[in-house]
Structure 1
């Protein structure tokens, strides 16, 4: 059976939170469900901040991807970020992630994004291979991401 990919809407918030919970559980990372629901509510209410897609097969939720974006001076235009990408184990190696990324990249092209970025673990070879097939490469061996919470 083939996957169907669709843009998430308000009615999908519980589905998105459930999928995010599975994603976080795989990494042994706790998920605050209330925070996740509020975050998805904000994202879906503010399409200028980004959007999300859900993959389904036969009515079963298989995975999701979240894209956020901002204006980047270095590119003179929008930079999109693959904020989250997750596919349930039983649907992996069947192109669901590729189909989710195709939807994301098509949206980025339609928006005129100049660049797409993602953060991935250096040991996550499956993710690195997938992103590489979409033309994403490590930008620099000398630049590092610095981040702080406010």
Structure 2
């Protein structure tokens, strides 16, 4: 059975482990600069800077989705930006990723948010296919990062 729930401060260790796992999966572990204390401070005190949902399968942590809220001047309103979606390999193919995304969508519907946005590598064809099955539209756009400190 799949259970999706909001992450709590008691989940900080689990959340951090999931973040490291997705970073490792993409060969980007060196880019994770945060730590558990920062996650606790930024996600579980007011105002929180991010949200996260934890998926459990038969009582065991199977994956997560994390998100932030942003404002679009073109849209004229807020939108959800998904930071990470990750499911442990042993739980893939069990609709856990879909359930996490559907719960994120429901959060937006309750808040009258009209858009969810996220990034995916253009060669990650499995993920693109998955997101398109959900009804999402793939847009190709370059992303720049400019380190200023």
- Give the TM-score band, short-chain normalised: 0.7 to 0.9
User: Structure 2-normalised TM-score?
Assistant: 0.87
Secondary structure in 2 matching 1:120: coil
Equivalenced residues, count: 147
2:23–2:32 contact (8 Å) kept in structure 1: no
1:66 alignment counterpart: 66
Give the RMSD, CA atoms, in angstroms: 2.0
1:10–1:44 contact (8 Å) kept in structure 2: yes
Question: Which segment drifts farther, 18-27 or 72-81?
Answer: 18-27
1:130 alignment counterpart: 130
1:21 alignment counterpart: 20
Pairing partner for 1:148 from 131, 146, 149 = 146
Distance 1:38 1:128 in 2: 33
| CA shift for structure 1 position 47 | 5.5
Question: Which segment drifts farther, 45-54 or 99-108?
Answer: 45-54
2:119 alignment counterpart: 119
Question: Structure 1, unaligned stretches of length 5 or more?
Answer: none
Secondary structure in 1 matching 2:138: coil
Question: Structure 2, unaligned stretches of length 5 or more?
Answer: none
User: Structure 1-normalised TM-score?
Assistant: 0.87
Provide closer, same or farther for how the CA distance between residues 8 and 31 of structure 1 changes in structure 2, counting only shifts above 3 A: farther
| CA shift for structure 1 position 90 | 0.2
